[in-house]
Amino acid sequence: MHKLTVAQGTALSAGAVLGAGVIALPAVADAIAGPASLVAWLALVVLSAPLAWTFGELGARFPDGGGVSAYVRRAFGTRAADAVGWIFYFAVPLGAPAACSFAGGYVADVVGGGQLTKTLTFLAIIAAVFWMNWLGLHVSGRVQLALSATLATLLLVTALAALPHADLGNLTPFAPAGWGAVGSAAALLVWAFAGWEAVSSLSPEYANPRRDVPRATMLAVIVVGVLYLSVAWASVVVLGPDLAGSQAPLADLLARGLGGPVRPVLAVVAVLLTLGTVNAYVTGACRFGAALAREGALPYRAFGTTRRSLVFVVAAAVVAQLLPIELHTLMLLVTGGLTLVYVFGTAAAVKLLPGRGEKLTAGFSLLCVCVLLWLTGWPALLGLGVAAAAVGYRAWRDRVRAARQPG
């Protein structure tokens, strides 16, 4: 059986983090903190190193395809693992409308139509994802990796093409909304860095996990960090005041750098990238929801097969799209949940990793993600509520099962 090399593991790990959200996040972060959003990008890149290393160490020492949920179960038991599972599962329906909104912005940039175009783009993408999963037409791992490679190439080309048009005067005023806005931007940018937990689930695929997982993980951090910082820097110094209001920042950058009809091409690329991202998450969520139901963490009648789970995820995503929630708030609801998963995961690492240095690194990561959770503000309460509901459901189910047993 073929085993992953360090190069392949680096590509897969970086691909798990690189997501279509980055096509819009430079503008979103700039609207919150101005040029000081660069500090938020840098802070998340720096945090990625110990965070990814922590999950890499978990994967290297305890190879398990179950990823974070498996390590939380090992450290804290079934109910804590249920909480992590619920947070992951219920984040997908909330994340899909936000991700599709990014692509919709690129389509609206070309054809107009504003929010109506964004809604129609969402419906087209979610319908395609539904039918692909219903019919079992799953995108292969190679295609997903090709989409990630396309995004990485797009980010690099865009940054390099636009940099000759940089104006350092666009860095002033540097923090127009105050330094507190940097924290708010960082809480939102967790969206772009979600995926480091996936490096641990890849660990069983390596020939020598103890040696290769940390190497591949650190190389992936460097790749992701260079790409994200390059695009964020180029967006701020090239687009300046126009960045905050941009629907399609990468299209604006590439138009400045290369000229020509780049906007329609980038709109198509944005839709395809988003289709790949949403499909990957929905496909994973369908299987994950069914697995949770089989383990007793969710009601089996409602979630016990991949198709039942698919219907729930897609229906919930449509409801989320129709709710009168601003994109900024919707994203914070998702990033708050993902940050809470990191809190569980790093806390498990503090307990499970044996060495003093490993525990210190995991503890530092835990402290950082706790700060990010606090910076998320009240939207973080949704993740806490979902975790509490998971624990409550398991406790109720255990009581019902005990009551039905004779004697």
pLDDT digits (tens, 9 = 90+) for 274-316: 998 888 888 888 888 998 999 899 999 999 999 999 999 999 9
Q: Is residue 146 part of a domain?
A: yes
**Cα–Cα dist 17/294, whole Å:** 28
Stretch among 68-82, 271-285, 324-338 having the lowest mean pLDDT: 271-285
Domain membership of residue 29 as a residue range: 6-404
**Cα–Cα dist 87/143, whole Å:** 27
Q: Is residue 1 part of a domain?
A: no
**Cα–Cα dist 287/307, whole Å:** 9
Tokens of 93: 């329906």
Comparison of pLDDT for 355 and 392, the residue scoring more = 392
Radius of gyration of the chain (CA): 21
Q: Given this model, what pLDDT does residue 65 score?
A: 67
pLDDT digits (tens, 9 = 90+) for 34-43: 999 999 999 9
407 has pLDDT over 80: no
Q: Is there a contact between 249 and 26 (Cβ–Cβ < 8 Å)?
A: yes
Mean pLDDT of the chain: 90
pLDDT digits (tens, 9 = 90+) for 253-280: 999 988 778 899 999 999 999 998 888 8
1 has pLDDT over 60: no
Q: Given this model, what pLDDT does residue 385 score?
A: 96
**Cα–Cα dist 151/156, whole Å:** 9
Q: Is residue 370 part of a domain?
A: yes
Q: Given this model, what pLDDT does residue 331 score?
A: 94
Q: Is residue 278 part of a domain?
A: yes
Q: How confident is the model at residue 160 (pLDDT cuts 50, 70, 90)?
A: very high
172 has pLDDT over 90: yes
* Mean pLDDT value of segment 11-25: 85
2 has pLDDT over 70: no
Map tokens 């995503």 to a residue. Answer: 317
144 has pLDDT over 80: no
**Cα–Cα dist 379/328, whole Å:** 10
For every residue of 46-114, DSSP letters joined together read: HHHHHHHHHHHHHHHHS--TTHHHHHHHHHH-HHHHHHHHHHHHHHHHHHHHHHHHHHHHHHHHHH--H
Supply the CATH number for residue 340's domain: 1.20.1740.10
Q: Given this model, what pLDDT does residue 139 score?
A: 66
The CA angle 317-372-90, to the nearest 5 degrees, is 20
Q: Is there a contact between 298 and 292 (Cβ–Cβ < 8 Å)?
A: yes
Name the H helices within 304-355: 306-322, 327-352
End-to-end CA distance of the chain: 50
Map tokens 């940018």 to a residue. Answer: 189
Counted domains in the chain: 1
Distance of CA 103 to the CA centre of its chain: 16
Q: Given this model, what pLDDT does residue 11 score?
A: 84
**Cα–Cα dist 89/353, whole Å:** 27
Cα-flanking dihedrals φ and ψ of residue 305, to 5°? -125, 160
**Cα–Cα dist 187/335, whole Å:** 7
Tokens of 82: 């249920």
* Mean pLDDT value of segment 117-124: 96
Q: How confident is the model at residue 141 (pLDDT cuts 50, 70, 90)?
A: low
**Cα–Cα dist 276/146, whole Å:** 10
Closest C-alpha among 378, 337, 375, 334 to residue 21: 334
